[in-house]
Amino acid sequence: MSSYLTIVAAQVILNDRLSTEAWDNAEDADKTKALTMATKLIDRLNYLGNKTADAQVLQFPRGGDASVPADILEACTEIALKLLDGFDPELEFENLNMISQGYSNVRSTYDRSRVPEHLGVGIPSAYAWGLLKPYLRDFRTVDMHRAS
């Protein structure tokens, strides 16, 4: 399995959401690619606990759970929607360094001294990041185990 959910399962989640034109207008092949890319972005993060089975390919389920949590499924769908809507993680990362941009008499200046946490780790949606964050390890801590 290369994605946390199928197109049909993602559609069920998106049925209750506004502004889904990018998903609605996409071909099934692109929806599948977006869900796969979203899963890869999610699986790059460092989660609490261990996979339920050592042989499982994806990061979830974890800790003996039999299924993937609803928050992870919803986050995967949100990320896929953002990807279909034109979000490019590479371009966004490059834009984090942009201070000022102008065209004719219009100029935009950004404060890039504080990078949004979700963009810093490659997650295109602040909403999806909020769903994923409770499952993450605190990167400021170190686990120590005694070996004998």
**SS3 annotation, 87-128:** CCHHHHHHHCCCCEEEECCEEEECCCCCCCHHHHCCCCCHHH
Number of domains the chain contains:
1
What pLDDT does residue 96 have? 57
Structural domain includes residue 106: no
- Whether 27 is in a domain gets the answer yes
In a domain, 50, yes or no: yes
Q: Do the domain assignments include residue 76?
A: yes
| Alpha carbon separation from 53 to 58, 70, 71, 122 (Å, rounded) | 10, 19, 20, 26
> pLDDT at position 120, please?
72
**pLDDT score of 34:** 96
| Residue 68 located in a structural domain | yes
Q: Who wins on pLDDT, 89 or 126? A: 126
Amino acid in the structure at residue 41:
L
Residue span of the structural domain in which 48 resides: 7-88+125-135
Measured CA angle at 33 (ends 125, 8), to 5 deg: 85
CB 26 within 8 A of CB 35: no
74-109 tens-digit pLDDT:
999 999 999 999 877 666 555 555 556 667 777 666
User: What one-character DSSP code corresponds to residue 51?
Assistant: B
Q: How confident is the model over 21-57, as pLDDT tens digits? A: 999 999 999 999 999 999 999 999 999 999 999 899 9
Is 36 among the domain residues?
yes
- Secondary structure class of 78 (helix, strand, coil): helix
**Is 15 among the domain residues?**
yes
Tell me the residue ranges of DSSP E strands in 8-142.
100-103, 106-109
- Amino acid 93: pLDDT: 57
pTM: 0.79
Asked, for residue 115, whether it belongs to a domain, the answer is no
Q: Under the phi-then-psi rule, with left for phi > 0, alpha for psi from -120 to 50, and beta for the rest, what region is 98?
A: beta
